[in-house]
A and B are shown apart, each in its own frame.
Chain A
Amino acid sequence: KAGVTQTPRYLIKTRGQQVTLSCSPISGHRSVSWYQQTPGQGLQFLFEYFSETQRNKGNFPGRFSGRQFSNSRSEMNVSTLELGDSALYLCASSQTPGAFGYTFGSGTRLTVV
């Protein structure tokens, strides 16, 4: 069965712009979580969605937001991009929230210039 699909794989944006990243979970998985990975901070949890509702949110500013659709696909949005937002953004899906065996996508590498 298809894995977790993230699009696009690579993205270059200018400071001040906004960006939307997409994550399609494994079929049947209803929970999607998002993570940011940078060389300085490592992996950090952004938020988790289950059944179109945000269940948990990490310690990120309000410029980072997300949503989940009825088909479990999820998007995350970053507004007013800053240079420090350059990172690999990963999503993972699971059948239930907080469930074990998260399956990760390949990530979207965002570069802000």
Chain B
Amino acid sequence: KNEVEQSPQNLTAQEGEFITINCSYSVGISALHWLQQHPGGGIVSLFMLSSGKKKHGRLIATINIQEKHSSLHITASHPRDSAVYICAVNPDNDMRFGAGTRLTVKP
């Protein structure tokens, strides 16, 4: 079993829909990252969370440390949100990654 599990693997949405991507992990961590990877490979760090909730524009990330679960929400989705979203955790001073969720937002 992977230490970091993401769901769903693939997600297709219509423009304007509310999107949720989930991440569960089985290791002790001090923080969790949400990353965005566009075609071509470049990775952007969206959020770092150690507790509670963070919001940036249309993106919201939440984490429940006790339940070892995090969610990334996108409100009013747009085709430019199409990317792979990756959850990563920091145990033992390295990084463990989920397999990613491929999001396609159709106009």
A, B assembled together: yes
A positions within 8 Å CB-CB of B: 33, 35, 37, 42-45, 48, 55-56, 58, 88, 90, 92, 97-98, 100-107, 109
Contact for A43 among B44, B45, B88, CB less than 8 A: B88
Q: List 12 A-B contacts (CB under 8 A).
A: A33-B95, A35-B95, A42-B100, A43-B88, A45-B94, A55-B93, A90-B41, A100-B33, A101-B45, A102-B95, A106-B41, A109-B41
Contacts of B86 in A (CB 8 A): 43
Total cross-chain contacts (CB, 8 A): 54
User: Are B93 and A98 interface neighbours, CB within 8 A?
Assistant: yes
Let me know if B45 and A44 touch, CB within 8 A: no
Known A104-B45, A107-B41; further 6 A-B contacts with Cβ < 8 A: A42-B98, A43-B95, A43-B100, A56-B92, A107-B42, A109-B41
In the docked arrangement, what's the CA distance between A27 and B105, Å? 36
Q: When the two chains form their complex, are residues A104 and B42 in contact, meaning their CB atoms are under 8 A apart? A: yes
Q: Which of chain A's residues have a CB closer than 8 A to the CB of B35?
A: 104
Which of B's residues lie within 8 Å of A, judged by CB? 31, 33, 35, 40-45, 48, 86, 88, 90, 92-100
Interface SS of B by simple majority: loop
Contact assessment for A97 and B93 in the assembled complex, using a CB-CB cutoff below 8 Å: yes
User: Which of A44, A103, A104 is in CB contact (< 8 Å) with B97?
Assistant: A44
CB pair A100–B93 under 8 Å, yes or no, is: no
Cα-based distance from A101 to B40 in the complex (angstroms): 21
The docked-state distance in angstroms from the alpha carbon of A56 to that of B96 is 13
CB pair A88–B94 under 8 Å, yes or no, is: no
